[in-house]
Structure 1
Amino acid sequence: MTRGIEEKLTSRHVTPTAMRLLVLDYLEAQPAAVSLSDIERGLAPADRITIYRTLKTFEENGIAHSIEDGTGSPKYALCHENCNAGAHHDLHVHFYCSACKETFCLPKSVIPEVSLPGGFTAREVNLVVKGTCAACQA
């Protein structure tokens, strides 16, 4: 692991514990979003609860975001630098491949602003496009 991983945590005021460093390193190496089970298998014999708490800490501090892709199991991916504690500013479209079952962040595809009627308050926005990824079509 590089010193850069530790600096990413400290710059977000997150103490760089061994598990946090491992999870961040694992997420950085993934080409697609991953589930808690994927991370658990990748870091075996790591404790599932500790991984889950690490992911929640990352979400709370703008390091990672969760994606509800309709599979019933949230996926996790790293945020871009413009996210911060309590506010994710990288609202983008996600793509779920129905062939390989991978979920990809599409950061260049921004979720359009939704105009809500008076009295409505949005807390979360999620847009998932489902289809077949380029690798599966090849």
Structure 2
Amino acid sequence: MTKIEKVLLAKGIRPTEMRLKIYKYLKRKTYALTLNEMQNVFVIKSEKNKTANKSTFYRAIKLFEEKHMVHQINDGTAIAKYAVSDENTTGKYGTDLHMHFHCTDCWKTICLPNKISEESLPDSYKTTDVNLVLKGICKKCIRK
């Protein structure tokens, strides 16, 4: 059994071939991806093989999101992006609290490594979502 199969099973997810491929693909990426970007890899190429369709793909992403394996990022572009969540994080918000960086040149959004302490958030408020996005130019675009 592979590590990714174990991860899915530990979250109560049946490790189908497509779920394994999608999660493995997301884990390899260093930046967040839109549904369209992921669908171009899995749905369009798979149409020839009849192994996936858009609804199968979408349900897998939503299942990963419900199980806190991926998180959705709203970086201000009006297009939701998805990235793998930290597997080892547990907290009152159900996911890891961290900032994101959106490059206004290449339009890639990455998860930044520094975590935000839950203690810095007020107890007297009920937080239902956290979206922290810094905007600027990434190191690759600066070098151009």
TM-score above 0.5, yes or no: yes
Maintained 8 Å contact 1:82/1:89: no
Q: Does 1:12 align with 2:7?
A: no
Provide structure 1 residue ranges, at least 5 long, that are not aligned to the other structure: none
RMSD (CA atoms) = 2.1
Aligned partners of 1:134 and 1:54: how far apart in 2? 32
Q: Does 1:57 align with 2:56?
A: no
Aligned partners of 2:35 and 2:59: how far apart in 1? 11
Deviation at 1:3, TM superposition (A): 1.1
Maintained 8 Å contact 1:9/1:15: yes
> Which TM-score applies when normalising by structure 2?
0.83
Maintained 8 Å contact 2:70/2:85: yes
Deviations 1:52-110 (A, max 9, x none): 111111011121111111111111111112346x9533110000000010000013152
Matched pairs, number: 134
- Which amino acid in 2 is paired with 1:99? D
The corresponding residue for 1:115 is 122
Maintained 8 Å contact 2:96/2:115: no
- Which amino acid in 2 is paired with 1:125? V
Identity %: 37
Runs of 4 or more, structure 1, over 4 Å off, are: none
Aligned partners of 2:115 and 2:142: how far apart in 1? 21
Provide structure 2 residue ranges, at least 5 long, that are not aligned to the other structure: 47-51
The corresponding residue for 1:23 is 22
Q: Does 1:137 align with 2:136?
A: no
Q: Does 1:74 align with 2:80?
A: yes
- Which amino acid in 2 is paired with 1:73? I
